Structure 1
Amino acid sequence: MASEAQSIEGVQDSGHMLLGGRLVAGEGAPITVIDPSTGQPTATFAGASVAQFGKAIAIARAAYEEGQWANLRPVARLGILQAYLDLLNVNTDRLRRLIVRETGCPIGSFAIRAQVESPLHQMQQMLDLYPSLPELVENPLTLDERVAVTGGFVQSLRRYVPVGVVAAISAYNFPLHISLWKLLPALAAGNSVILRPSPLTPLATLALGEIAVEAGLPEGVLSILAEGGAEGAQLLTTHRDVNLVTFTGSTSVGIRVAEQGAPTMKRMHLELGGKSAQIVLPDKIEAAFDAAVTVCMSHAGQGCVLGTRLFVPEEEKPKVLAAMKASLDYARIGDSTDPSTTMGPVISEAQMERCERYVQLAVEAGATVVTGGKRANRPGFYFEPTILDLPDNRNPAAQDEIFGPVIGVIGYRDVEHAIEMANDSELGLSGYVHGKDARAALEVAKRLRTGTVNVNTFFASGNASSGGHKLSGVGRERGVEGIRAFQEIQVLNLGGM
């Protein structure tokens, strides 16, 4: 069994795990990372065993109970984490090369910034935000409550304390981004963390462990373990010594994670699937013309917040479809390492098959393929950028998350009809409204039942949280809520004369 990763074309990584502050070789089944651009292996190394996951939990629990990290003054923790973040910034070229090879995100596309530079910038914002959040906040007692019945006075305080041991389970599409959203806020709050990346894209996340050692993170507060299966992840979601599970992935798996954590009353933070709506108001039809480019060129549609349901006025639909199709004439499908490539592959053969299946289901339910709809004729896992003319919002391609370069266009009679269809979904992660009349667009946005709505923009910041409504999840990431998610509230009621 290999203990050192094999590499291709200068992309090197040790394949070592971070276990309680020490770099170790995996003792479990081998992981083979496939380059989606070629369909060929790019690295092979031994994954962590279940026993190693168990050891990581024990180490994290002991570190938390000893309090060497949790009891540090926040300014001291932030100093160490700032040194860590500074080293991550020094390693951006290495991290970018790893991500390009393991995810297939094109190195020359606009999506690559969201893979590396954006998460590092957002983490700096969150480290800057953390000191502004007080550990103690006074509860708003009335004057009568402040005078105790036994005499004297009462003060009631909310104290924010670490949750304890955090298990972070990341997704494959933006591995660095998603991992850092969980990792740094949890550590800043004083927790011990065990991070488990997707077995499809573990390389950049494992590199985070090597850099953590170089930055001098205390032993025990961080472990990063990759595995080929799901046994370690299941141990993280069921073990009594894990206090909180933060998971990003599909809704179906998120439900299982919540079920596994229920017997031990774990706190759950779940960022799950999306089928986000874009409502294009009649006064801004041109906003729809580039919608296919935005969705399909954003990492081949593999983003849970992408606006894959596009609602336009029924009478404008033919013009919109023609303009969207023309916009894809400039798309260049190719290898992720080629700077001229604008759209790369999806992650796997299984994901290509999912795209094919949903196009077929859409057509069987009355949709028309405007362009694309099939695999690209080249090695690797490429699916053509696809525009579907959907007859209604009940079509399978409008209801289910496909997670590929597929966008559906649906006509609406009036704005009320558009809002009704946008809300007709079990998911509610993000949404978009486009309109020249900003007040009218804002009124539409306020009526969408989704966790984030972007009006005439797309915005993401370390200072502003995101999260899902309905089956799109529980809890928020980034911003104040994304830090407080890794803290418990302890109320202190103090009496005195």
Structure 2
Amino acid sequence: MNERYLEVAGVKVSPDLYVDGKRIACTTTFENFSPIDQRSLGMMSEAGPQEVDAAIEAALRAFPAWAALGPEKRKAYLDRFAQEIGKRADELCVLESNDAGVLLSRMRHGVVPRAMLNLTHFAAHALTLQDRVIDTAQATHRVRHDPAGVVAIITPWNSPLMLATWKIGPALAAGNTVILKAPEWAPLTSSLLADCADAAGLPPGVFNLLQGSGANTGAALVADPRLSRISFTGSVPTARKIAQAAGANLVPCSLELGGKSAFIVLEDADIEQAAATGALMYRNAGQVCLAGTRFLVHERIRDTFVETMRMNVASLRIGDPREEGIELGPIIHPRQVDRVQGFVQRAVDAGARLLWGGRAHPYGAQYFEPTMLTSVQQRDEIVQQEVFGPVLTLQTFTDDGEVVALANGTDYGLGGVCYGETQHAADVAEKVRTGFIWVNSFGIRDLDAPFGGVKRSGIGREGGDWSFEFFCDVKDVMLPKQPFRASFSHR
């Protein structure tokens, strides 16, 4: 690997691609900025069609040997990969905080440990998959999970390290080779992840990294018929383009998309707990697809809930995400700030009322006040469309039938939260059309459980067996229990 590096807050990181075990510099570049203070973090190599082709060729060459290793030997590689992430934990934390505006404390205590677990857990899970047996009267069926081939993984900017390893773990453990397309607005931890893969000794071509825009790098990647799978987390408009390109080649896609999830507070809810959890919906400046952004509160407790949550929100500390005690950092990019402000302004113009927030925060240009809008209608844009910023809405309801109808009244269905007496909340939660829903809780993510959305929130599930169902070709080897005699006769 060459010695060309950027230096970000004392951490050296390559600005170049990683293909076939080597760093590749490109003549085409793009500038990367920090959302904290808009300073330049350096010029990054941008892959074009030639570099995309090289990455796919490298992954194709590496696939047969990597697939033939078997899950136990692949596990050893992935365990070392996770160890290398652990060795460079401090660097990864500093990079992602500077590059994506993620809280440094969250990186240290949540994201990096989870990134390591994503690799080790799925490596261990792969050991349980082979030669599952189904016995019937006619045959013994040996069900195999065979690696599919070359996998393209495209991740978003709001949690680059965690979401990359969440997909890389099962893809590599299953025996596929991987091409990771890093997020254009936050590419640095993906680059350091390539260094970790290299240090772990992954064979050349098993893991490859591309950087660049969706219109250039991403479009060339997803249109290639040599891919066997595409796994994408991001927006609905981008997913449509990916699905269209993949559909032309009949390449299966897993799409984890946006959310407009309901946060339901029933009349019998613990208001203090619900309000404290409600304030968490502003986490990562609201740039969290699974957050409950539509608050649906029983009309009898509406005023008490609003005042309790107002106090929780007022105590949130906004500022530099690298500082201890800060709870809300910046929005990723000036374009995203404009998008958030536009949603709020249009909502107010349409008759919505601000309970709090609604404007840029004085700390800096990419900081936005935690915002809550009420007096909104179900058909309003602010209720129907994902904002992806620290903006929530509040509506009231009178009974369970009404709240279920409101919760189900958008084109999205990723997550949800429901607070109330446990059985009552569970009964309501079961009627909400969504991929998952937390009852009297938030943020629980077990790697063996399914994760994904319904309606416009995505296609497919990740986690546990579901990840391997996607990243593998499932094959049934049938052994007859009686001697088989070929015959065209009808019985």
What range describes the TM-score normalised by the shorter chain of this pair? over 0.9
How big is each residue's C-alpha offset from its partner over 1:164-205, in whole Å with a ceiling of 9 and x where there is no partner?
110001100000011011111100000011000111111001
After superposition, the Cα gap between the structure-2 partners of 1:390 and 1:91, relative to the gap in structure 1 and judged at 3 Å, is farther
Q: Which amino acid aligns with 2:279?
A: V
How far apart, in 1, do the equivalents of 2:392 and 2:333 lie?
Answer: 19
How far apart, in 2, do the equivalents of 1:177 and 1:384 lie?
Answer: 26
Aligned to 2:276: 290
How big is each residue's C-alpha offset from its partner over 1:277-320, in whole Å with a ceiling of 9 and x where there is no partner?
11111111333322442011x11110000011111112322222
Aligned to 2:193: 208
Residue 250 of structure 1 deviates from its aligned partner by 0.4
Instruction: Say whether residues 1:238 and 2:231 are aligned partners.
Output: no
Aligned to 1:198: 183
Q: Which amino acid aligns with 1:446?
A: E
Give the secondary-structure state (helix, strand or coil) at the position aligned to 2:389.
coil
The answer (yes or no) to whether the contact 1:428–1:468 under 8 Å persists in 2 is yes
The answer (yes or no) to whether the contact 2:120–2:169 under 8 Å persists in 1 is no
Aligned to 1:348: 333
Aligned to 2:127: 131
Aligned to 1:163: 148
How far apart, in 2, do the equivalents of 1:127 and 1:156 lie?
Answer: 24
How far apart, in 2, do the equivalents of 1:333 and 1:391 lie?
Answer: 27
Aligned to 2:89: 92
TM-score (norm: length of structure 2):
0.93
Instruction: Say whether residues 1:44 and 2:43 are aligned partners.
Output: yes
Aligned 1:440-459 pairs, distance under 5 A: 440-458=424-442, 459=444
Q: Identify which of 55, 67, 70 aligns with 2:67.
A: 70
**Alignment RMSD (CA, Å):** 1.9
Aligned 1:98-109 pairs, distance under 5 A: 98-108=95-105
| Pairs aligned (count) | 479
The answer (yes or no) to whether the contact 2:230–2:253 under 8 Å persists in 1 is yes
The answer (yes or no) to whether the contact 2:93–2:107 under 8 Å persists in 1 is no
How far apart, in 1, do the equivalents of 2:476 and 2:142 lie?
Answer: 6
Moved more, 154-163 or 245-254: 154-163
Q: Identify which of 245, 249, 255 aligns with 1:264.
A: 249
The answer (yes or no) to whether the contact 1:29–1:227 under 8 Å persists in 2 is no
Aligned to 2:488: none
Give the secondary-structure state (helix, strand or coil) at the position aligned to 1:403.
coil
The answer (yes or no) to whether the contact 1:170–1:248 under 8 Å persists in 2 is yes
How far apart, in 2, do the equivalents of 1:286 and 1:140 lie?
Answer: 53
How far apart, in 2, do the equivalents of 1:100 and 1:348 lie?
Answer: 14
Aligned to 2:372: 387
Q: Identify which of 313, 323, 335 aligns with 1:328.
A: 313
Aligned to 1:21: 21
Aligned to 2:112: 116
Q: Identify which of 187, 194, 219 aligns with 2:172.
A: 187
How far apart, in 1, do the equivalents of 2:456 and 2:214 lie?
Answer: 25
Unaligned 5+ segments in structure 2 are: 484-491
The answer (yes or no) to whether the contact 2:59–2:177 under 8 Å persists in 1 is yes
Aligned 1:361-372 pairs, distance under 5 A: 361-372=346-357
Aligned to 1:470: 455
Q: Which amino acid aligns with 1:392?
A: Q
Q: Which amino acid aligns with 2:34?
A: D
Give the secondary-structure state (helix, strand or coil) at the position aligned to 1:493.
strand
After superposition, the Cα gap between the structure-2 partners of 1:194 and 1:8, relative to the gap in structure 1 and judged at 3 Å, is closer
Give the secondary-structure state (helix, strand or coil) at the position aligned to 1:167.
strand
After superposition, the Cα gap between the structure-2 partners of 1:219 and 1:334, relative to the gap in structure 1 and judged at 3 Å, is same
Aligned to 1:149: none
Q: Identify which of 160, 163, 171 aligns with 1:175.
A: 160
Instruction: Say whether residues 1:485 and 2:470 are aligned partners.
Output: yes
How far apart, in 2, do the equivalents of 1:229 and 1:313 lie?
Answer: 43
TM-score (norm: length of structure 1):
0.92
How far apart, in 2, do the equivalents of 1:419 and 1:5 lie?
Answer: 53
Residue 391 of structure 1 deviates from its aligned partner by 3.1
Give the secondary-structure state (helix, strand or coil) at the position aligned to 1:129.
helix
How far apart, in 1, do the equivalents of 2:223 and 2:399 lie?
Answer: 48
After superposition, the Cα gap between the structure-2 partners of 1:281 and 1:379, relative to the gap in structure 1 and judged at 3 Å, is closer
Aligned to 1:150: none
How far apart, in 2, do the equivalents of 1:401 and 1:391 lie?
Answer: 15
Moved more, 183-192 or 313-322: 313-322
How far apart, in 1, do the equivalents of 2:302 and 2:42 lie?
Answer: 46
Q: Percent identity?
A: 31
How far apart, in 2, do the equivalents of 1:478 and 1:431 lie?
Answer: 18
Question: Which contiguous aligned blocks of 4+ residues in structure 1 show a shift greater than 6 angstroms?
Answer: none
Residue 229 of structure 1 deviates from its aligned partner by 5.2
Aligned to 1:151: none
After superposition, the Cα gap between the structure-2 partners of 1:112 and 1:104, relative to the gap in structure 1 and judged at 3 Å, is farther
The answer (yes or no) to whether the contact 2:223–2:246 under 8 Å persists in 1 is yes
Residue 5 of structure 1 deviates from its aligned partner by 4.3
The answer (yes or no) to whether the contact 2:267–2:298 under 8 Å persists in 1 is yes
Residue 131 of structure 1 deviates from its aligned partner by 1.5
Instruction: Say whether residues 1:6 and 2:10 are aligned partners.
Output: no
Aligned to 1:81: 78
